[in-house]
Structure 1
Amino acid sequence: MKGNMKPEITHLVCDCDGVLLDSESIALRVLHEHLLPLLENPADGDKLHHAIASRLGMFTELLLDELDVEFSFGLNAAQYAAINTAVGIACGDEVQLVPGIADALQKIDLPKAVASNSSTDRIIKGLQRCDLLALFDGHIHSAHDVGRPKPAPHVYLAAAAGYGVAPQHCVAVDDSVTGVRAASSAGMRVLGFTGVAHDRHGMRQKLLDAGAELVFDDMQELPVLIAALLPGRAA
């Protein structure tokens, strides 16, 4: 590699929720429904909604930990389990594709992997439901399995290792601050996606600040953006 040339991009690594599957709005709704009755002040409903939305992409347990502190819910183990289960069931039953992602992935001629904070079971079920699983050829990586959730880089490092390539040869697509930080820390180039974000405008700057090279909001753009990283290759 000479001068300021960047490593060749050979692999694509995608977050799952909010990039492949439009499940975060489902998780937001279920979390809000379960936590709203626990508020000391019912007038704080909008504040709770925003607090959940700003943390989507985190491990559900860690998200609940932070909300428990912020709103003094006093959640017990049974409540944690019930909420977690409800989120998983709803996402599994209702999840839909992020608009345009299926066509975009078909146009990108790179090996593909998933790197997500969700459980392997939830990722696989969601991708099966939406007919995307075969595109990832078994390269599904969950933070539950590597032991450290995003923003730690471990799940993105696992995705690169799964293909036997250096992270610098991967481009990641993620929609959350925690995910962008994780991919960037792993050494990957990162594209931020805001197409299904609760607050697209606000999230755009947050993703750039977290380390995204650029931010886009329409999956139809992804093949062209990837092609721009691949000199001499077409999307």
Structure 2
Amino acid sequence: MSAEGQQARHVAIIMDGNGRWAKRRHLPRVMGHRKGVEAVRELVRSLKDTQVECLTLYAFSSENWKRPEDEVDDLMDLMRKFIKSDLPEFIANDVKLHILGDWQALAPDIVAMLEDALEQTGKGSRTLAVALNYGAQAEIVSAARKAAAGGEITEESLAEHLYTAPLPPLDLLIRTSGEVRLSNFLLWQAAYAEMIFTDVLWPDFTPDLFKQALADFGDRERRFGGR
């Protein structure tokens, strides 16, 4: 497939580097997370200037519970504030929220806020998918069990039970902060996705850098195993 003019419909980002951003500035880790939320906000606002139909963000993995309790509490509080403050903007900008992961295991008040946000944004034309309490290996196991319960396990039947089933196929995966690994994120979906790893820490990842990544994607040739 020629890369000329190709557009990424679905982009996923592993938002890494909040802690290092804060450490370099001799600030508490929570300040890095707060700055990271601001980066999310600016990026979501900029989507209207792109052809991206779905942006998926790795917000909280199932392994993140291993972090210090006070850091987890800070992250949950930031999540509450983000949902409350940005929901009206999502609605105004026709953004539909979609959640990946075992999010219903979160605190009851967060679950209620997310359920409300899902309902209020359900008719949006552009999707913001957020991975919360998410792990790709657990997702694949769960999807395989559901597929087996319905009959034969095939690639198609398994894919139908993934959290991303309603979303376009993943085109591009970006990871910030210089780490070069997937960290149990969208393992199935990333099979033929293009990947970009940047040294930029997440709080410094701007809409302009995102558009540069989209341009990079447009210059690539995707063969999907062919020649």
TM-score by length of 2: 0.41
Tell which has more relative contact order, 1 or 2 (C-alpha 8 A, sep 6+): 2
Higher strand share: 2
Higher helix share: 1
